[in-house]
Structure 1
């Protein structure tokens, strides 16, 4: 049995959950167009759709809310927030935004022009959407191991320096506004990048005059994996490693809804004062004044407290162990899962689990529906639906990874909930031959289609025989 350490917190408040029947869930899923994202939350028993903004805040964070200064300009809460980001992440210029994609939008508008190219260690849907909408082409320069669910490579978020050199050589440094890195890499299953590789990547980019920007939404989890896996870092604190990950980069985009244990908010952090001034001007236009950026003062106070809590060793140890527990339970039962397990999620290899469902019928979306029907557990597809269509050809992108992601919110669910999830996924996998066909689009939004698309079974009224 995998290790499940006692949670380093105790429950002070509860939110009731409503149990549903199979008939209830079938009706809800049909009404949602076979898209778990469109389900009402009240129809979901264990919600692993995302770990973003779904965390349980601590008593200290709830207390911090009461200190919120709601002044429109220059609120005291902004300076508390600013100091926390500077202290733990090390960037001088801190610009608040309502959440991570707000920072992606501002950075893209500042730097990208039509015809430019952005290398990165695997795409993330909203990040690539902002890059493409501003005229850039994304190039995946991650190591090949990241695309292999069975590879045990410890740092699947690493950049293949040869691939990056090839992109620079083909298009020229002048056509590359920046390199886009993530720590950890969500679409690969929460896989970390090593400090050594990140540093080498920055050195290569900087040698060509190209800045590097880091998605730090789960960089604390990345720091934990560095401590466990990268030689020379075992005796360093997670806080020290977090600063080391950020140190060689030129700035960061952050969704505080992940590592920082908040329900909303984020920031764009920069080192270049001129770029920071440009970004503040756009924040005023798209987000809110540069000292609140779409957040209330109380949100900034909660984030500041959450940043300090996020690097607590007991917290991050238990957080990652809960993910590992679910992953080991599934792997022990023969469910094909991405290895090594990430810091925020366990990903089921849907292409391997449902080999009889063609990629054009979206096996991961199909598996997500089957899992919800089994026990009211909601995950999210991370495969062809999420990848979208090629903006030039209009064809569906078919990434090598076709995954059902089970993202675990921080400090929310107990071992009993995680066991329920494991039992449900194992039951679906055991009876996978009952799934006859997959799904096709009924309605398909143009951007980030996985959020709002509606589907219908390819054969008959159900995906089951």
Structure 2
């Protein structure tokens, strides 16, 4: 059962099918443009969508809003330093701000960044710095149906080749995303992280963690990796941070706050460069674009997130939804993680070609049938087409992510998701695809306009 009781409730919108049809047309079938009050169950993202605890709200009341040197900053800094072991801690208003500052300070045009999988904004910030982002997912990640527990690992042989090869001198950093969101929310093993750290040290390349979901990764390590069954998630997380040279984090995930993030570093020179850019673009180094109350709530959230009872319930509710989805006749990327389920839309809609976006078709159908908002992670997100709409590059898989907000929805809400998918699966052949009518040259899935084929 949930290790908490509900103190405050918020009504959710209940709309009609006709209202949802009209809403989809109005936003040109881009679910990002829906108003929140048109969405019944919002599984678009787990970023900043969690429910605060009473202790976090109480901590926020202690917020010191001094411009420089606030008490809130020092409470936050000490909490993060104790967790990560890094001596240099810089707050930022969210993860992509931390990425921009870190990459702008670390990278030079033409540099290469290697990763188990870059997420969309991470890749964008690498490319905006005039650099190249290369993904090296492990071979096991290609099998969506296997129960292999650590599909989020980096391909160590590929990493070794890249670091030792002709482009090795151009590699400015290796980023390990834990858990691997772009790879289906799959965890990274401690052994894989340890070997990647060893390779990076031998080649003089910094290893950085994209630590947005560090606690969920740690939980899965304690469940599945030999030698860690008797360790706490907190102990595993501390070990992971200390294997790396630094991190960037969106605390809107495993900080369980609505806004916030940070950079943690061992290197004093790099930290100084980041601090100068932070002050110029985000705010003074002791607030980084955040209110004091945000810093205090983030510090408390970082303590709560590694509690075994919290993580056990989060894993259980993800498993509950996964089973409902399987019973509905829809395949998912196995095994299910904690922060999201990834639906195999390509398998559900084999009649829709990649350049007509089967994942987006499923996302729209989920909204139309059940008022459920989700995110496509397929060829709309990763693909490319020529000016006539013909495919140039398609995604390897056509997926839809159901992101699970922290401490927000109950099992009955997720049962509604399962029933909606069951109805869609029974008439899958009647669902059609989409074509793009307008798009942005970067991160197109956020602002794209489409129409049904």
Q: Name the TM tier (shorter chain).
A: over 0.9
Match of 2:404 among 401, 408, 411: 408
Aligned mates of 2:146, 2:229 — CA distance in 1? 23
Secondary structure at 1:329 match in 2 = helix
Q: Which residue of 2 aligns with 1:95?
A: 90
Q: Which residue of 2 aligns with 1:428?
A: 424
Aligned mates of 2:353, 2:384 — CA distance in 1? 17
Q: Which residue of 1 aligns with 2:258?
A: 263
1:160 and 2:187 are equivalent in the alignment? no
Q: Which residue of 2 aligns with 1:457?
A: 452
**1:222-243 per-position Cα deviation (integer Å, ceiling 9, x unaligned):** 0000000000001111100001
**1:129-154 per-position Cα deviation (integer Å, ceiling 9, x unaligned):** 01011121121111022132112211
1:228 and 2:223 are equivalent in the alignment? yes
* Root mean square deviation, CA, Å: 1.5
Aligned pairs (5 A) from 1:249-260: 249-260=244-255
Q: Which residue of 2 aligns with 1:328?
A: 323
| CA contact 1:384–1:396 (8 Å) conserved in 2 | no
| CA contact 1:173–1:209 (8 Å) conserved in 2 | no
**1:62-112 per-position Cα deviation (integer Å, ceiling 9, x unaligned):** 111111111111111000110111112222111000100011101110121
Secondary structure at 1:338 match in 2 = coil
Distance change in 2, residues 1:432/1:49 (3 Å): same
**1:259-315 per-position Cα deviation (integer Å, ceiling 9, x unaligned):** 111000000110101110110001112211111111110100000111110011100
- The number of residues matched between the two structures is 450
**1:334-378 per-position Cα deviation (integer Å, ceiling 9, x unaligned):** 211100101100110111111110100111111100010011011
Q: Give the TM-score of the pair, scaled to structure 2.
A: 0.97
1:77 and 2:72 are equivalent in the alignment? yes
**1:396-430 per-position Cα deviation (integer Å, ceiling 9, x unaligned):** 54221221000010000011101001111121112
Secondary structure at 1:186 match in 2 = coil
Aligned mates of 2:53, 2:166 — CA distance in 1? 48
Aligned mates of 2:391, 2:356 — CA distance in 1? 14
Secondary structure at 1:118 match in 2 = strand
Aligned pairs (5 A) from 1:50-449: 50-387=45-382, 389=384, 397-435=393-431, 437-449=432-444
Runs of 5+ unmatched residues, structure 2: none
Secondary structure at 2:90 match in 1 = strand
Aligned mates of 1:381, 1:170 — CA distance in 2? 35
Aligned mates of 1:266, 1:386 — CA distance in 2? 24
Runs of 5+ unmatched residues, structure 1: 1-5, 459-465
Residue 172 of structure 1: CA displacement? 3.8
Residue 389 of structure 1: CA displacement? 4.5
Residue 390 of structure 1: CA displacement? 9.6
Residue 170 of structure 1: CA displacement? 3.0
